[in-house]
Every structure is written in C-alpha cells, then in structure tokens.
Structure 1
C-alpha cells in the first residue's frame, strides 16, 4: 500500500523540458505517484513521442508545446492549461542547456542563451504558475539544479553561474511565497547518464574520473531521481522549504 503522504492523486504537474532525459524521467515518477502530468518542450512531435512512452507504462499525460524563454507564450499556455485541464499544483522547472567552452572564449550570444534558458525561464514560468497557487493557497515548485551549483569545473563556468543563481532564486521564492502555503525547493542531480552528458559518458577518461570522484563509483541513472522528485512534490515535504536536495552519489560530501 502506498504511503498517502507520497500520493499525488488529484494533483496536476507541469514539467518543463520533459520530452526526454531527466525531465521525462521526473514526469514518469510523478505520474506513477498518481499525478496528471503535463509535458513541455518546444517540439510537438518529440512531445508526442514522450507521451506515447509514458502511455506504454500506464501514465496519462498531456502536451504543452511552448518556449519557456518566451514570456507571452508562457503566460498564454499556463492560462490555457489552468482553463482547459485544471489547476497546476506542481511545477518542475527542468529546462536547461549546456554549452561548453573556456570562459575567455565564451561567446556573448551563448552566454545570453544559457542564462535565458537555465535561469530566466524559471522566473517566467514560476511567476505565471504561482498566481494560481497563491489564490488556492497551496503549491509545490521544484527547481532542477546541479552539483555545479556547489562546485565548478573547467569549461562550464556560465552553466555553473546559472545553477548557482537558481539556487538563490529557489531560496528567494521560498521567502516570498511560503506564507501562501507554497513550498519551493531545489533538486540537484550529480552526474547522470543523459543526452546532455552523452559526450562525457562516452569519454573513457572522464568516466574513469567519475568512478573515482563519486563515492558511489558510477554515473547516476535518471530513474534514481524519481523518489526525490515525488518527495518534494508531495505532502511529505509540506514543511520543507528553500532546501536543495543533492542526489549525486555522495559527490558533494567528498573531497
């Protein structure tokens, strides 16, 4: 029997950037816990494929194709979901990109793109969704961070900057919105095998470094993020706010 504290039945979850990888895995976990899932991405065809993958496992999901960096599109789609499907009770801000280059050679246009995608989008989507949460006096927002919110690595300084800023935005959201019955927390994955990290997974030298650097001795699998996501989206975390939960195989605990 499922512990009722973790039961998401009757709740609707919007997961941004959920057509593949970590986002799709998080959507699946929330759906398995009973939530009605709204998948988001920019490409309708990719979202349709993701929806089929979830349906094959008995998880019902709808699609919302929009660019999370476009404020007008965000506001219009959030309003449509609330009008046509129902209240958004859970928001998972997962959309993110990685652009690797030495900082002194980093293109300014790429800087703006990574900041808009990884940070500004969270502000835009959360601001749109939280209006309904405030009115209903309940809601869960889970921002997806990274171990790079805690530690930097060569060639990804802008990415680390966005995740560090998102860590503080998470705390700021908590301080502003907790009084409305809303919990805002961060989930910070370590090194997981995804499309985003595939070049690193394929690099024998880097994978060897992971096996030595991570106490668990391996890459994480996206399904291993599901329990943390369900916890932060459920009643089990009703007094957890402004917290960042690292799911990293012990990486941030080790020198």
Structure 2
C-alpha cells in the first residue's frame, strides 16, 4: 500500500539521532517529507541528517532539549520559519533508567519523566497550538508496550510511557474538533542502542525473545526482536492519509509480547 499525504509535509521528529527516532526520520524523508530532525546530541544528529542528505532526502538538523519548554517554543518557531508549517509531529525522544523501584534515585525518576512525559507535553503543546490555527495535522507519540504491561526493573520507564500515552489520547480528544489526529505507537523490544544498553554485559537477544518466568516476562511470540524500521513504518501509516479516520489509537508493535491484555 502506497502511503499518501506525507510528501512535501514538514515532519518534526524528536529523538532523531539514533534508534527509532532515526528510523522514523529516514522513513518519512523517504516518503517525501521535509524532516526537521531534533535531538540534544548534535554530533549524532548531524551524522543522521548527513546520511539522509547524501541519499537526496530533505532533512534538517535542529539541536534542542525537549525538557526545556522555552527552548522547544523557540525550536518550533524556527522550524516553521525555515521549513514551513509543521504538519506531522513524531515524539520519539526517550530515555531509559532500569532498576527496582525502591532503588531508583530521585535523579533517575525525574529525568525519565522529564524526557519521556515532559518532552512529549512540551513539544506537542508547542506544535498543536500552531496546528489548531490551520485545522489540520497528525501527531504520533512513541510510547512502549511497558506502558500497559508491568515490567520488572522498569517502573520509571513504564510509568512515564503510560503518562505520555494517556496524555496523547487526551490531546487527541481535545484536538478532534480541529481535524488533528493524535495516535500512539507502542513498541516492544526493538534492536536499538537503548535495548543493547539494557542488556548490559549479556547482549544475547534470545533471553528477551524467550522471556523469563522469574521476571514475569512472556517473551515474544513472533520469536524475533523488532527492527527500528518496523516501528517507523507503523508511525508512517498513522500520519498518512490512509489513517485519516484513526485517532486516539494505540498501535502495539511488539510481536505479540504484550498479549494485548
């Protein structure tokens, strides 16, 4: 199925320096979007954008910290001044701190929520205010299947992703009168630097795929990790015209790991 409605649209993608965010930026740019790639890691972001430009794609790097609401307002104004009105927003910036809830530090908890929930709020608010005047737009938040399924040693991450998912649903309800659609993509274990850092000294993905009874993890029924491109393709569908009657939906891309319960 060929996706339409993406070509020539300005797409602001946060967390675009690596992992799922980088894959989303590449997928949307490949579909003809003018991508505003955003990340606080300027060096890694420049590498991603340079690769897209070398492929003949339209991509532009904007360094910003999504936790800083004033910086986000400046960012969105600059993107629209330089590229045009933002028609697509993808909230893909995220951080992961693992550890048992009783052992998490204040800093770990606060940073997790500041990026994963606060960043979604800051960027969505800034972009939505402008979309409302134009009465069109599509917003997708990359959450996690951990938002709906408890995970051992992932309390901060799961709680922050649940917050971002529910915020996006509420935003979608409020913006429905303006023709703006807001959806969620919830990946499971995806082969990204974030997952590899979580695996630590034992990077074998089989223990994730097979699950662990001791950790109350059922494994992945499809018997493979997701690739960032799998998630990016789901995002691309939700921002396309083909999903024109889809809003406030949470699309799980986890190989069945959550069992959809």
TM-score clears 0.5: yes
Cα distance change, pair 111–204 in 1 and its aligned pair in 2 (3 A): closer
RMSD (Å) for aligned C-alpha atoms: 1.7
- The residue number in structure 1 matching 2:170 is 172
Q: Is the 8 A contact 1:19 1:46 kept in 2?
A: yes
CA–CA distance in structure 1, aligned partners of residues 191 and 116 of structure 2: 19
2:38 to 37, 40, 49: 40
CA–CA distance in structure 2, aligned partners of residues 123 and 138 of structure 1: 19
1:103-122 deviation digits (Å, cap 9, x = unpaired): 11110121111110100111
- The residue number in structure 1 matching 2:147 is 149
CA–CA distance in structure 2, aligned partners of residues 17 and 140 of structure 1: 18
Q: Which runs of 5 or more structure 2 residues have no equivalent in the other structure? A: 212-218
Q: Is the 8 A contact 2:20 2:232 kept in 1?
A: no
Please state how far the C-alpha of 1:210 moved relative to its aligned partner.
Answer: 1.4
- The residue number in structure 2 matching 1:207 is 206
Please state how far the C-alpha of 1:13 moved relative to its aligned partner.
Answer: 0.3
Please state how far the C-alpha of 1:253 moved relative to its aligned partner.
Answer: 2.3
Paired positions, count: 253
Any residues of structure 2 matched to 1:1-255 within 5 Å, and which?
3=2, 5-199=3-197, 200=199, 203=202, 207-211=206-210, 213-253=219-259
Q: Is the 8 A contact 1:149 1:161 kept in 2?
A: yes
SS in 1 for 2:73: helix
Cα distance change, pair 201–33 in 1 and its aligned pair in 2 (3 A): farther
Name whichever of 35-44 and 91-100 sits farther off. 35-44
Q: Which runs of 5 or more structure 1 residues have no equivalent in the other structure? A: none
Please state how far the C-alpha of 1:44 moved relative to its aligned partner.
Answer: 2.3
Cα distance change, pair 202–191 in 1 and its aligned pair in 2 (3 A): farther
Please state how far the C-alpha of 1:254 moved relative to its aligned partner.
Answer: 6.9
Please state how far the C-alpha of 1:16 moved relative to its aligned partner.
Answer: 0.3
